[in-house]
Amino acid sequence: MNKSVAVVTDSTAYLPKDIRDELSIEMVPLNVVFAEESYQEEIDLTTEQFYEEMKTAAQLPTTSQPAIGDFVTLFERLANEGYKQVITIHLSSKISGTFQSAVSAGEMVEGIEVLGFDTEVSCAPQGYYVLEAAKMANAGEDGHAIIEKLIALKETSKAYFMVDDLNHLHRGGRLSGAQLLVGNLLKIKPILHFEEGSIVPFEKVRTEKKALSRIVHLLEEDVKNGGKYIATVIHADNLEGAKQLQATINERFDQVSVDISYFGPVIGTHLGAGSLGLSWQKQN
């Protein structure tokens, strides 16, 4: 096990604890606030508990990033454990200040080099980068080489998602009033994606079925170019829909291995229950 490069991420990568433990990945949680009560995602509040709470909450929850001190404390501990470098990998800096907090914390800690990587996405695609970094770190690779590899991986990483209700994104400041109005008037199911780190509409589609069909077609366009792909269906309290989409991909594409992940509390707050997404990345 390489003790010179540590890998840190936040809770929105939604990597299971057993995988984080196996690969020595450190995780700093974001927070979800119901009324006055703040919960650390994945620690104080499970995803199942969150969606149950959402059904009966008098007001929708809010989210907050980790305190900069959480990163300082972690980086100091890693320095004391003998690590020389940290790769800290986070959700898009356009939708959260988490990445900036981590980078700022890195400048406060002596004796360890902190290298930040803004994934410009979140959830499973963020997890792809974290897993790749951890595997490389455990194989003895240098931190700068790992960052170069992650930058290269961005070229083939795609993610599209569809929300049931645009109001969540608008209320959280992730979608403009004009986009909300148009969407609700037309009763459309917009396909959304990340563009330069921001959540923006990709295409406006009338039905959920057509939206999912379009997303699968986008995957097909990439797969036609050759190579093998890893894909993840991501759902917000919509496991049945996720399984159906996974089955469709398994039937259509031999060269795509597809698993299922989820939109946890922090991202689920902004997307709302019922949302479905698909992310993919070309394998090495």
Structure tokens at 1: 């096990």
> Among the three residues 155, 174, 198, which one is the final residue of a domain in this structure?
155
> Among the three residues 155, 187, 219, which one is the final residue of a domain in this structure?
155
- Put residue 219 in one of left, alpha, beta given phi > 0 → left and psi -120 to 50 → alpha: alpha
Give the separation between CA 91 and CA 283, rounded to whole angstroms. Answer: 21
Helices within 166-207 (DSSP H only): 167-171, 177-186
Q: What is the pLDDT along the chain (284 residues), one digit of tens a residue?
A: 457 999 999 999 999 999 999 999 999 999 999 988 999 999 999 999 999 998 888 888 999 999 999 999 999 999 999 999 999 999 999 999 999 999 999 999 999 999 999 999 999 999 999 999 999 999 999 999 999 999 999 999 999 998 876 665 555 555 555 555 555 555 667 788 998 888 888 888 888 899 999 999 999 999 999 999 999 999 999 999 999 999 999 999 999 999 999 999 999 988 888 999 999 999 86
Strand spans (E) along 19-150: 25-28, 31-34, 37-40, 62-64, 85-90, 113-118
Q: Which residues pair with 229 in a beta bridge?
A: 256, 282
Structure tokens at 263: 């939109």
| Number of domains comprising the chain | 2
Residue 271 within a domain: yes
Q: Do 137 and 179 belong to one domain?
A: no
Residue 41 within a domain: no
Question: Which CATH number belongs to the domain containing residue 18 in this structure?
Answer: 3.40.50.10170
Coil/strand/helix, residue 232: strand
Structure tokens at 122: 């979140």
In this structure, are residues 261 and 234 in contact, taking their beta carbons and an 8 Å threshold?
Answer: yes
DSSP string, 123-167: HHHHHHHHHHHHHHHHTT--HHHHHHHHHHHGGG-EEEEE-S-TH
pTM of the model: 0.91
Question: Which CATH number belongs to the domain containing residue 249 in this structure?
Answer: 3.30.1180.10
Domain with 90, as residue range(s), is 5-30+65-155
